[in-house]
């Protein structure tokens, strides 16, 4: 396999310049000689760094200080910031609010505002359950309103996406809807898909969601006199009912195991909102607000979200700022890594991973990574050898780019951190072979 890799990667990129050794003892074990060989195969357009997180000692470095395209290794920085800002047990709420009143005959006099909180799992009950094991659905909102005594709405259903800006994509797509992501909105329904087949995207996500809530109310025998529309929730609106995403722990697993670009872009847009301590974030275990009942005040006061703070650019800045608290200095422009402008050095990636270990919530971060030979994007790689079921990592792939970074428990019992960032890649299989060989060497270190 290594001979094949050497043929597939152009000879012009090969070279072992910049390799550094730690100790002669390591060299005698064969650990360094294996990594030197793999670093030479990876070539000058690639960088490798291996760190012992227990001792803080650099074990191997090959061109590790040069910033390179991260691809989906960007999600490591997104995940770290999301976990740090939200906390592992937090959830994201989608709420129905109103300024009207509930009459004794069950008529709610006024419009209902469906306010999105940036929950990437929100949608239909069947989609939320089957895709994510979640319960954030328009049917649940309708059921709660009916249980509260609502039988008729003398008003409209208004979809409110104002927690985020209205740009539908990231910089790689000119901020338009990307085929690799789907339309971005604080009020996305079924991740922006226009039909059950997933053959088209929604053109107006908040209107689409409002329409689906109106249909769900009708299915619950709640008549709505007005049609669906879009707008901003008034500042004096009261919260009537809400649904919540799975915990951030679960959301990060969904995102990182399969390298879900949509989740990453939705979460990065939410970071400025959380940093500003606004929006629809709630923590698991917080009691639901009281539901309206006939003759009683219709809802719970909830402050309006800060306007215009949920942006891709703002979220990338929050992620970079959080990374700096861990000693890493990436350059990020989105949350997913679809842009070639997302860059960091292997040393920065490894430093982020190592310095997350003692932080609260690290178990959540670690559990979200793919396990070699077992699940996620590493399910079919490293199916045997010391890395199998022992290395946890994040892959990354773009045209000409391949990456693998993560953690391995070495045979000597130490937790080792590694990052392999490769550019100028012509054959993806060859790049994977080199990365897997490096992970096997790291996991097999005695």
Sorted by sequence, the CB contacts under 8 Å of residue 396 that are 6+ apart come out as: 70, 71, 72, 73, 74, 259, 337, 402, 403, 404, 405, 421
Instruction: Give the tokens for residue 418.
Output: 């590694």
| Range 309-322 burial, b when 16+ CB lie within 10 A, else e | bbbbbbbbbbbbeb
Please state at what angle helix 248-258 crosses helix 74-86, rounded to 10 degrees: 180
Q: What is the pTM of this model?
A: 0.89
- 173/177 Cα distance (integer angstroms): 7
- 51/410 Cα distance (integer angstroms): 11
- 133/59 Cα distance (integer angstroms): 41
Among left, alpha and beta (phi > 0; psi -120 to 50; other), residue 192 is left
- 130/141 Cα distance (integer angstroms): 18
The Cα-based distances of 222 to 108, 126, 217, 366 in angstroms read: 10, 20, 5, 45
The Cα-based distances of 137 to 13, 241, 341, 432 in angstroms read: 51, 12, 36, 39
- 247/188 Cα distance (integer angstroms): 18
Q: Which residue from 405, 304, 407 is spatially nearest to 363, judged by alpha carbons?
A: 407
Long-range CB contact pairs, 180-183, < 8 A, 24+? 180/261, 180/338, 181/261, 181/262, 181/265, 181/336, 181/338, 182/262
DSSP state for residue 217 in the 8-state scheme: H
Instruction: Give the tokens for residue 116.
Output: 């999105």
- 317/401 Cα distance (integer angstroms): 23
Strand partners, 418: 50, 406
Grouping H, G, I as helix, E, B as strand and the rest as coil, residue 378 is helix
| Predicted pLDDT at 136 | 98
Instruction: Give the tokens for residue 291.
Output: 């539901």
Grouping H, G, I as helix, E, B as strand and the rest as coil, residue 98 is strand
Strand partners, 407: 392, 417
Delineate the domains of the chain, giving CATH numbers in brackets.
2-66+345-443 (3.40.710.10), 89-310 (3.50.80.20)
Note down pLDDT in tens along the chain; length 446 residues. Answer: 443 344 333 333 333 333 443 433 444 358 899 999 999 999 999 999 999 998 999 999 999 999 999 999 999 999 999 999 999 999 999 999 999 999 999 999 999 999 999 999 999 999 999 999 999 999 999 999 999 999 999 999 999 999 999 999 999 999 999 999 999 999 999 999 999 899 999 999 999 999 999 999 999 999 999 999 999 999 999 999 999 999 999 999 999 999 999 999 999 999 999 877 544 455 443 433 444 444 444 455 554 545 447 999 999 999 999 999 999 999 999 999 999 999 999 999 999 999 999 999 999 999 999 999 999 999 999 999 999 999 999 999 999 999 999 999 999 899 999 999 999 999 999 999 999 999 999 999 98
| Predicted pLDDT at 301 | 57
């Amino acid at each position: 396999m290594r001979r094949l890799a050497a043929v597939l990667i152009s000879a012009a990129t090969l070279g072992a310049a910049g390799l550094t050794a730690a100790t002669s003892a390591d060299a005698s074990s064969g650990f360094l000689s294996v990594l030197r060989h793999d670093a030479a195969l990876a070539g000058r357009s690639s960088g490798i760094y291996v760190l012992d997180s227990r001792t803080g000692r650099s074990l191997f470095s090959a061109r590790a200080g040069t910033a390179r395209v991260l691809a989906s290794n960007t999600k490591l920085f997104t995940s770290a910031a999301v976990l740090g800002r939200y906390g592992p047990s937090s959830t994201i709420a989608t709420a129905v609010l109103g300024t009207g009143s509930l009459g004794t005959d069950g008529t709610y006099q006024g419009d209902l505002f469906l306010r999105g909180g940036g929950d990437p799992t929100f949608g239909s009950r069947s989609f939320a359950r089957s895709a994510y094991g979640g319960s954030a659905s328009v049917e649940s909102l309708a059921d709660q309103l009916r249980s509260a005594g609502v039988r008729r709405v003398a008003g409209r259903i208004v979809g409110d996406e104002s927690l985020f800006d209205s740009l539908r994509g990231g910089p790689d797509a000119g901020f338009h809807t990307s085929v690799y992501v789907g339309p971005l909105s604080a009020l996305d329904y079924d991740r922006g898909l226009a039909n059950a087949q997933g053959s088209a995207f929604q053109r107006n996500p908040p209107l689409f969601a409002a329409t689906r809530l109106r249909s769900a109310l009708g299915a619950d025998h709640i008549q709505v006199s007005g049609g669906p529309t879009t707008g901003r929730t008034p500042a004096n609106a009261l919260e009537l009912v809400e649904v919540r995403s799975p915990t951030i722990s679960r959301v990060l697993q969904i995102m990182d195991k399969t390298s879900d670009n949509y989740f990453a872009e939705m979460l990065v847009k939410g970071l400025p909102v959380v940093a500003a301590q606004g929006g629809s974030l709630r923590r698991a275990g917080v009691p639901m607000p009281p539901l309206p009942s006939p003759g009683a005040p219709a809802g719970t006061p909830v402050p309006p979200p800060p306007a215009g703070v949920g942006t891709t650019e703002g979220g990338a800045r929050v992620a970079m700022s959080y990374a700096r608290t861990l000693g890493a200095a990436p350059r990020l422009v989105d949350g997913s890594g679809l842009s070639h402008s997302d860059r960091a050095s292997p040393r920065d990636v490894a430093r982020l991973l190592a310095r997350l270990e003692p932080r609260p919530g690290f178990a959540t971060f670690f559990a979200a990574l793919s396990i070699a030979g077992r699940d996620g994007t590493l399910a079919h790689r490293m199916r045997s050898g010391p890395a199998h079921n022992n290395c946890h990592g994040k892959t990354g792939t773009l045209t000409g780019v391949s990456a693998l970074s993560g953690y391995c428990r070495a045979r000597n019992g130490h937790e080792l951190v590694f990052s392999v960032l490769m550019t100028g890649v012509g054959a993806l299989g060859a790049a994977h072979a080199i990365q897997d060989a490096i992970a096997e060497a790291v996991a097999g270190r005695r």
